[in-house]
Structure 1
Amino acid sequence: MFAVSGGGRGDGSWPGARWREAIALTLETSTIDNTDNLEPTPEPLHAGAPVRPDSPTFAELGVHPDIVRALNEVGIERTFAIQELTLPLALAGEDVIGQARTGTGKTLGFGVPLLQRLRPASADAENASRDVPQALVVVPTRELCVQVTRDLADAGRHLGARVTAIYGGRPYEPQVASLQRGVDIVVGTPGRLLDLAEQRHLVLGRINALVLDEADEMLDLGFLPDVERILRMLPEQRQTMLFSATMPGPIITLSRTFLTQPTHIRAEESDASAIHERTRQFVYRAHALDKVELLAKTLQADQRGLTMIFTRTKRTAQRVADDLADRGFAVGAVHGDLGQGAREQALRAFRSGKVDVLVATDVAARGIDVIDVTHVVNYQCPEDAKTYIHRIGRTGRAGKEGVAVTLVDWDDVPRWKLISDELDLGVDNPVETYSTSEHLFADLGIPAHANGTLPKAARTRVGLDAEHLEDDGRSGRDRRGAPSGRRERSGSSRSGSGRSGSVRSGSGGSSGRGEDSRGGPDVADPATDIAAPRANRPPRQRRRRRAGALVGEPATDERIGSAEAHQSPVPELAGQGETTRRPRRRRRNGGASASSQANQTVDTQDAAAS
């Protein structure tokens, strides 16, 4: 059911832009089963949620028959709500602003128009000779970059569309080679796109369509300056589509600057109907020292499938993953301190079921779309209501039920109260809960005999070690996401435990101290080179200056029996022949010099002898 919430120029705050209509509607969440690598998969595209029976088909909206055929092969025939609203405008070449969350099917909403706008190479002599990109999609994260690339390649398989992913954390050479072979659509993250464009490997002068996906996330990650620099490299005559879950001030300013008479579409899912009704939510006030034990018992609940655990910090994510691995769970981790190879390894293992627990930070989990997640655990209280909705929205999808568990520390109670009030959850004061509380076992269906360690009979997952860790080809300080001079954590550790990131692997990286930043051979360090014996090294010469003049020879350490002669030998000053220097006088006991004390001792001895 459609409801027009505005028309004309809206509130009049958009100078120079024409707002035809702003449409708001309630829709069910739809998901597409994406993989995070670019290798063929049995079912790359997946219709994850039912659509309205009266929604139009892609063919009825004028989509190219080859694209329709590719979608029909995976069971996608009718459009989701965001696609139904976006396609008529985008296919006509108009600028669009779409407000929609992750998992609502917006990838095909902008992907289908991009594929349909592609010009055959033979139709453009210049384009045929250079094979330069015709469309550009900018996304905030590596994971989302790979997912969008896979979706576009699958939807355009019968068109022969060439789609490539450009993102950081991978060597430059394969990406440059892909661009040189020729590509139609480039999907990339801002940093790597800007690097290749400035190095003239990525030609942006023939781009006729641009998509900015998850624009608010790019703002949160600090990518907006890079995005603006990329936009200024593009031709002015182009189609631009911007998608964002929210419209903060900087995103509005960006739209006013770079979009031409856009149509603003809002396709937002209702929190009450699309999340709360399908997801059972439990909120517990937990003690920090008991949270891991409580979490371990929660993971032994009946009918638990794939589970995502969210933390606020990278260190906490890795610590929780290590603790769970020690307790026998097959677990992977995704956070900023891991290399790209280790992150992709964990995601592949999670999607394939080799591990059934994924611990992630909010930033690293952006853009990850995994179906069949039954449980979500907020190990740390989310920062705000938006983050809470984003986290628990990973479960309860495709018409299935889900479970969301939130653990609130004592210090986070005020923050949680704000979230509860904003979302009208009615749980302002969570019940105090420990790992032995009876209501915890009753709420989540935990067996009475469950303890903090997974029984060996229940350890049926093969673990993270069964998933191949791809070497990203980088070394030392060239790794983005790993601190300088430190090795990146690898994704594997103990056999069968699924522990991630607790050992330093050669494939994960090496110390930046001993390697060239571009991945070249090791450079020998003279301070640690065992091939050069210390005995062969010349002795270190100690040179002193006295009164601004260089001392020619060091003083000897000869002991002289007489206290009166207890003075250092007088070396010659450079270039001054027999010139003597003033003897060094050591002071003891309140400032008296050593020589004066020696003289006093000799006088006393002479007096006693006489």
Structure 2
Amino acid sequence: MTLTEQAEQLKDSVPDTKATPTRPRRRRRSPPWSLEQFVVEPCEGKARFHDFELPLKLMRGVAALGFEYCTPIQAASLPYTLNGHDIVGKAQTGTGKTAAFLLSIVTDLLNHPIEDERFLGEARSLILAPTRELALQIAEDAVQLTRFTGLKVHALVGGMEYAKQLKRLETTHCDILVGTPGRLLDFANNRDIYLDQVEALVIDEADRMLDMGFIPQVRRLVRLTPKNCDRQTMLYSATFTQDVLRLAEQWTEQPAQIEIGADRIATDSVEQKIYITTADEKFQLLNLILSGDNVESVMVFANRRDICRNLHDKLRKKGLKVGLLSGDVPQTRRIKTLEGFKNGSTRVMVATDVAGRGIHVDGVSHVINYTLPEEPEDYVHRIGRTGRAGRTGISISFACEDDAFLLEPIEKLLGQKLNCTMPDDLLSDMGAPGAAGTDSDSDVSQQSVPDVEDTSNLTSVADDAVSVEAKPEVLDVGEADGVMPDSEISDDAPKAPATPVGVDDIDTSSNADDTDPTSNSNSA
């Protein structure tokens, strides 16, 4: 057989793959989404999201989040804000105010798309929040609501890499911009963001802005936006003090005023207990509570970072999976800590009030006030971390000789008397073992140490590739305005570059703010 014949024979023996081409499997297209897939029966006394003319893409996001009926603040404010009116709302954390203003903003952006050329860094809406934690939580909520709309969300907060935030601003448009005052001014001073085209402005927790000394920074940001008559402004506060009302008068145009009092907060789902004890017995009681069978996920609040640090260390020595959120914890570590608490790998979270202003974790079974808050509103924020998403929760507060006098203003705010019991009742209530341990609270410092974050702790973390470098050329807004003492300046202010978070890279675990709001009233 010749070589030619051998080659022909070999060719014939090889199967011709081209003769039987394989057809690629087609992906079946799902039918377009419609309101028929989101049926909510009318309920007397409750407003449905169907009752408002929300865009279909937005309603799909509402359905995906499982929202059915409006909360009181949503039902009261949406008729005004959806029609373009300004609003001044009194509402605590946990009332649904975030969704209230986001629904209005997204509806306006979808109903009035920009057909002309847009510039990068040019925001269509601006949301100001006093803490990093709250800003990132709002940004995360915005991403969830707008997932089917194509709108772009950016978050600019301190303590994270400036360049990363800037890179995203330079690559995608900015429909919704969320941030803290100092970091936003940092970007504005560097001409990396432009606010002259803002259509909707939200100032969240205006009372906390006042407490933390951020109003001068907020004023400068507001001046960069269009005039009152050319933008929609929504201002929310937990209280209506004269200072807050004066700010509302300056920044809004004929606003509708809506009040959702503390008695309207969903505290019916939270069982509140007060245990009368001594400072030396507190840790023993805490240890006893944490050993209870029905204690699943717990947040322990204390007023100062030194108390939180000592509690964290002592609980870890007892073998508990415990995390710490306070001003002296580096930003990247806070994110990991909060993520561990969300996924259940951390059972106990010890935190200052700064963490209570933005943590939204479903499934928190207990909130323990190791020390009573000095501001009554903070009590409401604390207990609002449990009893969420239709579940019930338990709030336990320790009242000792040092802080029992703080109960009266809390009861006045709630409009009800709180039932105080002696710790002897704890055994039967909690079903915990009889031996509570012998550790006393004497080594948990009670001295007044404000929870102001030491920016020197924000060192580079290799795993997260987060670097914090000094930027001397950036104006320190707090010092320039002459209103913020050093103890109140967070590293969120433009002292050093922080990091913006965008739609694709928002860390859902969030992070605590750089300054504990309680530091103002507790500093020595």
Query: What's the TM-score once normalised by structure 2's chain length?
Result: 0.72
Choose which of 150, 166, 169 in structure 1 pairs with 2:156: 166
The alignment-based identity, stated in percent, is 35
Q: How does 1:313-328 map to 2 (within 5 A)?
A: 313-328=304-319
Cα distance change, pair 390–238 in 1 and its aligned pair in 2 (3 A): same
Cα distance change, pair 264–133 in 1 and its aligned pair in 2 (3 A): same
Q: What's the secondary structure of 2:425's corresponding residue?
A: helix
Shift of 1:422: 6.1
What amino acid sits opposite 1:357 in the alignment?
V
What amino acid sits opposite 1:442 in the alignment?
S
What amino acid sits opposite 2:384 in the alignment?
G
Choose which of 124, 127, 137 in structure 2 pairs with 1:137: 127
What amino acid sits opposite 1:261 in the alignment?
Q
Choose which of 205, 208, 225 in structure 2 pairs with 1:214: 205
Q: How does 1:291-310 map to 2 (within 5 A)?
A: 291-310=282-301
Alignment of 1:281 with 2:275, yes or no, is: no
Cα distance change, pair 195–329 in 1 and its aligned pair in 2 (3 A): same
- Equivalent residue, structure 2, for 1:474: 468
Alignment of 1:447 with 2:423, yes or no, is: no
Task: Please give the alpha-carbon distance, in whole angstroms, between the structure 2 residues aligned to 1:138 and 1:64.
Answer: 25
- Equivalent residue, structure 1, for 2:177: 186
- Equivalent residue, structure 1, for 2:397: 406
**Count of residue pairs the alignment pairs up:** 412
Higher RCO structure (Cα 8 Å, ≥6 apart): 2
Cα distance change, pair 165–384 in 1 and its aligned pair in 2 (3 A): closer
Shift of 1:427: 5.9
Cα distance change, pair 78–382 in 1 and its aligned pair in 2 (3 A): closer
Deviations 1:475-522 (A, max 9, x none): 68999559xxxxxxxxxxxxxxxxxxxxxxxxxxxxxxxxxxxxxxxx
Task: Please give the alpha-carbon distance, in whole angstroms, between the structure 2 residues aligned to 1:392 and 1:122.
Answer: 40
Q: How does 1:127-526 map to 2 (within 5 A)?
A: 127=118, 129-130=119-120, 132-181=122-171, 182-236=173-227, 237-270=230-263, 274-275=266-267, 277-420=268-411, 423=414, 426=417, 433=423, 438-449=424-435, 451=437, 470-474=464-468
Q: What's the secondary structure of 1:113's corresponding residue?
A: helix
Task: Please give the alpha-carbon distance, in whole angstroms, between the structure 2 residues aligned to 1:260 and 1:71.
Answer: 29
Choose which of 55, 72, 79 in structure 2 pairs with 1:64: 55
Shift of 1:291: 2.0
Task: Please give the alpha-carbon distance, in whole angstroms, between the structure 1 residues aligned to 2:113 and 2:398.
Answer: 60
Q: What's the secondary structure of 1:211's corresponding residue?
A: strand
What amino acid sits opposite 2:280 in the alignment?
L
Shift of 1:296: 1.1
8 Å CA contact 2:302–2:353 kept in 1: the answer is yes
Q: What's the secondary structure of 2:355's corresponding residue?
A: coil
8 Å CA contact 1:327–1:452 kept in 2: the answer is no
Cα distance change, pair 240–423 in 1 and its aligned pair in 2 (3 A): closer
What amino acid sits opposite 2:343 in the alignment?
S
Shift of 1:81: 2.3
Deviations 1:229-250 (A, max 9, x none): 1101111111111111211122
Cα distance change, pair 151–414 in 1 and its aligned pair in 2 (3 A): closer
8 Å CA contact 1:383–1:415 kept in 2: the answer is yes
Cα distance change, pair 173–420 in 1 and its aligned pair in 2 (3 A): same
What amino acid sits opposite 2:195 in the alignment?
L
Task: Please give the alpha-carbon distance, in whole angstroms, between the structure 2 residues aligned to 1:327 and 1:115.
Answer: 48
8 Å CA contact 1:63–1:116 kept in 2: the answer is yes
Task: Please give the alpha-carbon distance, in whole angstroms, between the structure 1 residues aligned to 2:76 and 2:308.
Answer: 39
Task: Please give the alpha-carbon distance, in whole angstroms, between the structure 1 residues aligned to 2:215 and 2:332.
Answer: 26
Q: What's the secondary structure of 1:380's corresponding residue?
A: coil
Q: What's the secondary structure of 2:50's corresponding residue?
A: coil
- Equivalent residue, structure 2, for 1:565: none
What amino acid sits opposite 2:183 in the alignment?
R
What amino acid sits opposite 1:203 in the alignment?
Y
Q: What's the secondary structure of 2:362's corresponding residue?
A: coil
Shift of 1:401: 2.8
Shift of 1:184: 1.1
Cα distance change, pair 422–91 in 1 and its aligned pair in 2 (3 A): closer
What amino acid sits opposite 2:67 in the alignment?
I
Q: How does 1:17-166 map to 2 (within 5 A)?
A: 52=43, 55-118=46-109, 123-127=114-118, 129-130=119-120, 132-166=122-156
What amino acid sits opposite 2:248 in the alignment?
S
- Equivalent residue, structure 2, for 1:15: none
Cα distance change, pair 179–388 in 1 and its aligned pair in 2 (3 A): same
Cα distance change, pair 159–423 in 1 and its aligned pair in 2 (3 A): closer
Please identify, of 144-153 and 51-60, the stretch whose mean Cα deviation from structure 2 is larger: 51-60
Shift of 1:265: 1.3
Alpha-carbon RMSD across the aligned residues, in angstroms, is 2.9
- Structure number with greater Rg is 1
Shift of 1:398: 3.8
What amino acid sits opposite 1:158 in the alignment?
F
Task: Please give the alpha-carbon distance, in whole angstroms, between the structure 2 residues aligned to 1:117 and 1:78.
Answer: 21
Task: Please give the alpha-carbon distance, in whole angstroms, between the structure 1 residues aligned to 2:259 and 2:43.
Answer: 18
Cα distance change, pair 422–166 in 1 and its aligned pair in 2 (3 A): closer
Cα distance change, pair 112–417 in 1 and its aligned pair in 2 (3 A): closer
What amino acid sits opposite 2:250 in the alignment?
T
Deviations 1:231-276 (A, max 9, x none): 01111111111111211122111111111010111233526x842x
- Equivalent residue, structure 1, for 2:445: none
Task: Please give the alpha-carbon distance, in whole angstroms, between the structure 1 residues aligned to 2:112 and 2:42.
Answer: 36
- Equivalent residue, structure 1, for 2:5: none
Shift of 1:210: 0.6
Deviations 1:394-452 (A, max 9, x none): 22334433222211222223333554566565569x5564xxxx432112221235546
Task: Please give the alpha-carbon distance, in whole angstroms, between the structure 1 residues aligned to 2:412 and 2:109.
Answer: 48
8 Å CA contact 1:331–1:358 kept in 2: the answer is yes
Please identify, of 392-401 and 167-176, the stretch whose mean Cα deviation from structure 2 is larger: 392-401
Task: Please give the alpha-carbon distance, in whole angstroms, between the structure 1 residues aligned to 2:270 and 2:69.
Answer: 26
What amino acid sits opposite 1:270 in the alignment?
D
What amino acid sits opposite 1:148 in the alignment?
I
What amino acid sits opposite 1:379 in the alignment?
Y
Cα distance change, pair 289–186 in 1 and its aligned pair in 2 (3 A): same
8 Å CA contact 2:120–2:174 kept in 1: the answer is no
Q: How does 1:457-606 map to 2 (within 5 A)?
A: 470-474=464-468
